[in-house]
Amino acid sequence: MSAVATQPETVRHEAVEPVATVEGFSLSLVRDGARTEVLHDVDLVIRPGEVLGLVGESGSGKSVLALSLLGLLPQASRPQSTGTVSVTGVDMVAADEATRRRVRRDALGAIFQDPMTSLNPTMRVGRQLREVTHDDDESVRLLETVGVRDATLRLRVYPHELSGGLRQRVMAAIAVAGRPRLVVADEPTTALDVTVQAQLLDLLRELRDDFGCSVLLITHDLAVADQIADRLAVMYRGELVEVGPAAQVVRAPQHDYTRSLLASRLSLGSPRDERFAAPGADAPAAVVVEGARREFGTRRRGQTVAAVDGVDLRIAAGEALAVVGESGSGKSTLLRMIAGLDRPTSGTVEVVGGGGAQMVFQDAGSSLTPWLTVGETLAERLRGRRLPRADVRARVEDALAVVGLGPEVARARPAQLSGGQRQRVALARATIVPPSVLLCDEPTSALDAALAKSVLALIRDLRARFGMTVVFVTHDLAVARLMGDRIAVMSAGRVVEVGPPDQVIDDPQHDYTRSLLAAVPELVGRTEGAA
Amino acid sequence: MSTTFVPRARLRPGTVSGLDIARPVNLALVGVLVLVTLVAALARVLAPYDPIQPVGPLNLPPFSPGHLLGTDSIGRDLLSRTLVGVQSSWFSALAVVAVGLVVGGTVGVVAGASGGRVDAVLMRVTDLFLALPGALVAIAIVAALGPGLTHTLVGVVIVWWPYYARILRGEVKALAARPHVEAARLVGTGRFRLLSRHLLPGVVPTAIVTASLDVGNVVLLLAGLSFLGLGQQAPAPELGADTSRALSQLLSQWWVPGIPGLAVLVLTLVANLGGDAIRNLVSGRR
């Protein structure tokens, strides 16, 4: 294709003509009634056949850049731009809709974070594939290429009948069906478990190798990008702060922001907190779980599934237990039973001693009542004590101070706070009257790396301050290692392995633990690919 | 590393979303709603004549001197009759909606928040009322109790509240599944407080929107019933009944039945547009 044959051959790259070029691109959008600049003077070249990792925290503008490349900027936000974003020589911001659609069809493929919302829920997979392949045999071939087994059968199912990983594979099949020059993958693995994430990343690289297309992999996780990217681009507040070969960016970052991004990443090698000593074997128990089983009815009558399938655990007072598992392993159900929000079908779950259990939820935003102010929410836990108003206020402000928030936050409503602030408020609610057991259900999985790290540090501080027992549920082994005196690995409703972090990570006993460990993305700094 | 900073803009509640013209238009429509309510409230003061006594020549056309909307077949001032008719229609409709909202809302919120057996019983009772053919029941009740405005209103309320029960129960159920309700339960919040502080405020916007869109329907239903002679009794002015009684004059003096009929049209239109405007304003804020 030689749509831009007249472009001067610059000395920057070899004579290879880039698939996409972003030049001096600035973009402003209208958000909440105010025009804000979301991209500032971005220069980026995507070469044929390369995997380019675009890394940045939420709100850094990386997804907007992807939408610009796809020519899908939301018109409702009234985009205004300077500079160019061209794909195969067509300006995807300035060109008319018909031209952009043609480029999307002929040269672009896209994979988004949530395949459930990007696939049409009312159409069978086969029909959605046929829209791009026009032929069922071709669809089957494609599905097999992206690693879907029993592809012929899968054509007949609806998206909701597939697992998250399979849905994302179907999206990938649709994305590469038209033999695109460039596949834009926006956080394609964020909603997936680590083992599935590893498979999907492999798949993206294979697609590059088999189809020769370029891949723009957008992610907030440096290590994920580093797994397969030839080059990395780091984005911060709408600007590209660093672009370079993956190995160079990871090993010798030039920009402060890249360095802080690398520093905030938790890995299996991060230093652990030395404050806590594992309690001795004779320590009194705080939580005792014996033969706990929780069944849920399925849609078919009389049939049940055991979310938790016979779990025995004894958590000592003052101990921190990290429960690790993938989605559907039963870890959240176990936590809810300890909290008393759910009851075991058989067996017992007991919180020993007074003080009770308090819980911090995964999505702090929805765990706070939206129309109550933070102060009102926190004061609810003090209601039983009939304190005078001034005392309540003082205790609320103290609790906020403990989690690193100022007294003015008491007057704010949850919608006015950032994700990190909300999670701090949730922690303040749990600890305003210190509980004997603090339950955490993936409290940091929705937060950016730096924020997550500070919230994890806060939870450890609270534990040290109040001497609470902590049960911390997570899908991330690195987080579990940091937070737990012991790690319990759950799979299919059972605890398959329990032990101190070093033992579980250095010498895993169970196959499942091993596969979980193997799938954890670690920064390696690969050298540039064969391109 | 303390992250205590809250941007000022975020602390300001109710920031305007979008800078388009939708908002001023909606506000204007709500203004019209308020204006109609004011006119209805002050009808007796605004009316130039006694609406019941003959005060002028018969069948004067609109824009006659002294009688802006003309007179009817026995010489009563049409403007005065329409104004007082609007008053009774408008406040009757508001009353029906308000009572329906309180009764239906209570049933729905209690059912949705309790769940289980309480929910099942309350909702089956609601279903029973929903199964009754609306206007017919109202007619039957008026027939049994005897004609009169109060009886009509009772009849209409009986068939009206189940809709609110249904809608609000669904809202409460959806809210009750949110983690914030579980979090509140975990904190030890009592049942009543859970309902009043963590659930009820969440359904208020829906309740307001549903109710405001409904006022127009009730205005129409009441006018229809009184058209059939089941509302306000003569000689008191009533829009539906006045239209009905003067129907024979439609071809000779169109304004006598036409003006009260047009008043019903305008009231319904204002109620529906105003309801839409309220919905847009409320949903924009969420």
What mean pLDDT is predicted for residues A425-446? 91
What mean pLDDT is predicted for residues B61-72? 87
Is B44 part of any domain? no
| Residues on chain B bordering chain A, Cβ-to-Cβ distance under 8 angstroms | 1-4, 6, 10-11, 13, 15-19, 178-180, 182-189, 193, 197-198, 201-202
Is B253 part of any domain? yes
Is B151 part of any domain? yes
Specify whether the backbone of A496 is left (phi greater than 0), alpha (psi in -120 to 50) or beta: alpha
- Give me the helix-helix angle, A419-431 and A389-402, nearest 10°: 120
The percent of residues above 70 in pLDDT, for chain A, comes to: 94
A361-398 pLDDT, tens per residue?
988 888 999 989 999 999 998 887 888 999 999 999 99
Closest residue on chain A to B1 (Cα): A454
3 state DSSP class of A186:
strand
User: Chain B partners of A429 at a C-beta cutoff of 8 Å?
Assistant: 183, 187
By Cβ distance, the residue of A359, A416, A418 closest to B11 is A416
**Measured in whole angstroms, how far is the alpha carbon of residue B113 from the centre of its chain?**
26
Name residue A292's beta-bridge partners.
Answer: A311
A335-364 pLDDT, tens per residue?
999 999 889 999 999 998 777 899 999 888
Closest residue on chain A to B197 (Cα): A372
Question: How close, in Å, is residue A168 to chain B by CA atoms?
Answer: 27
Sign of CA dihedral A238, A239, A244, A247: negative
- Give me the helix-helix angle, A194-211 and A511-519, nearest 10°: 50
Hey, are the CB atoms on B183 and A359 less than 8 Å from each other? yes
Q: Is the ipTM of this complex over 0.85?
A: no
What mean pLDDT is predicted for residues B22-42? 90
CATH of the domain at B144: 1.10.3720.10
Mutate to test the interface with A, among B1, B17, B180, B197 (most CBs of A within 10 A): B180
What residues contact A103, with CB distance under 8 A and at least 6 apart? A71, A87, A88, A90, A92, A95
Residue A10 pLDDT level (bands cut at 50, 70, 90): very low
Domain A268-356+435-526, CATH among 3.90.1150.10, 3.30.499.10, 3.40.50.300, 1.10.1370.30: 3.40.50.300
3 state DSSP class of A329:
coil
Is B40 part of any domain? no
**What is A20-264's CATH number?**
3.40.50.300
Most confident of A257-261, A274-278, B105-109: B105-109
Q: What does the pLDDT read at residue A103? A: 92
C-alpha–C-alpha distance, residues A511 and A516, integer Å: 9
Q: What does the pLDDT read at residue B19? A: 43
What mean pLDDT is predicted for residues A495-524? 87
Q: How many CB atoms lie within 10 A of CB B255?
A: 22
Q: What does the pLDDT read at residue B172? A: 92
The pair of structure tokens assigned to A292 is: 């706990």
Is B66 part of any domain? no
Q: What does the pLDDT read at residue A531? A: 35
Of A83, A82, A64, A68, nearest to A23 by C-alpha is A83
Q: What does the pLDDT read at residue A422? A: 92
- Asked if residue A5 has pLDDT above 70, the reply is no
User: Chain A partners of B19 at a C-beta cutoff of 8 Å?
Assistant: 30, 33
3 state DSSP class of B170:
helix
Structural domain of B178: 74-284
Q: What does the pLDDT read at residue B2? A: 38
- Asked if residue B15 has pLDDT above 50, the reply is no
Domain count of the fold of chain B: 1
Is B185 part of any domain? yes
Between B209 and B11, the more confident residue is: B209
| Whole-Å CA distances, B53 to A46, B74, B84 | 87, 9, 13
Sign of CA dihedral A330, A332, A334, A336: negative
Q: What does the pLDDT read at residue B1? A: 36
- Asked if residue A255 has pLDDT above 50, the reply is yes
- Asked if residue B69 has pLDDT above 80, the reply is yes
Hey, are the CB atoms on A366 and B180 less than 8 Å from each other? yes
| Residues on chain A bordering chain B, Cβ-to-Cβ distance under 8 angstroms | 30, 32-33, 339-341, 357-359, 361, 363, 366-372, 380-381, 383-384, 404-406, 408-409, 411-413, 416-418, 420-421, 424, 426, 429, 451, 454, 457
Q: What does the pLDDT read at residue A279? A: 67
The pair of structure tokens assigned to A311 is: 């779990």
Domain coordinates of chain A in residue numbers?
20-264, 268-356+435-526, 372-432
The percent of residues above 90 in pLDDT, for chain A, comes to: 43
Residue A525 pLDDT level (bands cut at 50, 70, 90): low
What residues contact B150, with CB distance under 8 A and at least 6 apart? none
B229-274 pLDDT, tens per residue?
887 777 888 888 888 888 888 888 898 999 999 999 999 999 989 8
The reply to whether A20-264 and A268-356+435-526 are identical in fold is yes
Name residue A285's beta-bridge partners.
Answer: A316
Is B33 part of any domain? no
CB B258 within 8 A of CB B245: no
What mean pLDDT is predicted for residues B116-132? 91
Of A121, A494, A150, nearest to A328 by C-alpha is A494
CB A91 within 8 A of CB A164: no
Mutate to test the interface with B, among A78, A332, A367 (most CBs of B within 10 A): A367
Phi, psi of A47 (to 5 degrees): -85, 160
Between B56 and A239, the more confident residue is: A239
Is B188 part of any domain? yes
Hey, are the CB atoms on A369 and B17 less than 8 Å from each other? no
C-alpha–C-alpha distance, residues A181 and A417, integer Å: 41
Q: What does the pLDDT read at residue A116? A: 75
The DSSP code sequence of A228-264 is: H-SEEEEEETTEEEEEEEHHHHHHS--SHHHHHHHHH
Q: What does the pLDDT read at residue A247? A: 87
The whole-model pTM stands at 0.78
Long-range contacts of B152-156 (CB under 8 A, 24+ apart): B152/B92, B152/B222, B152/B225, B152/B226, B152/B230, B152/B231, B153/B92, B153/B95, B153/B96, B153/B222, B155/B225, B156/B96, B156/B218, B156/B221, B156/B222, B156/B225
By Cβ distance, the residue of B1, B11, B188 closest to A384 is B188
A33-43 pLDDT, tens per residue?
788 889 999 99
